[in-house]
Amino acid sequence: MGSFEARLRVIGQSGFPLPVVVDLTDEQLTVTTDSGRIADWTLAEIDISARADGFLIEAEGEEVLLNVTDSNRFAVELGVVDFLSKAR
């Protein structure tokens, strides 16, 4: 698994998307900014779904939307294959 550049937006909060790097390693999803780590979850503790505007991640009572630069590769590595059929 690898690293992905993305923009993160917290659902229900105003403001511009935050540039982040998403790392997928050893069944972990880690989100960092230039300032440091802002989220670290095991894949088992989050729900991820593909949407037209990005990937919705639900964890710890929060919902965030990730708009990933290489969304097809991200979907494949996560096993969210529904995204690939929507993209066509």
pLDDT at 76: 86
Q: Is 35 exposed, middle or buried (0-12, 13-18, 19+ CB in 10 A)?
A: exposed
- How many whole angstroms separate alpha carbon 82 and alpha carbon 71? 12
Give me the domains of the chain, ranges plus CATH numbers.
3-87 (2.30.29.30)
Of 12-16, 39-43, 71-75, 78-82, least confident by mean pLDDT is 78-82
pTM to 2 decimals?
Answer: 0.84
Q: Is 57 exposed, middle or buried (0-12, 13-18, 19+ CB in 10 A)?
A: buried
DSSP strand pairing (54-59 vs 47-51): antiparallel
pLDDT digits (tens, 9 = 90+) for 6-64: 999 988 888 779 999 999 998 999 999 999 999 999 999 999 998 888 999 999 888 99
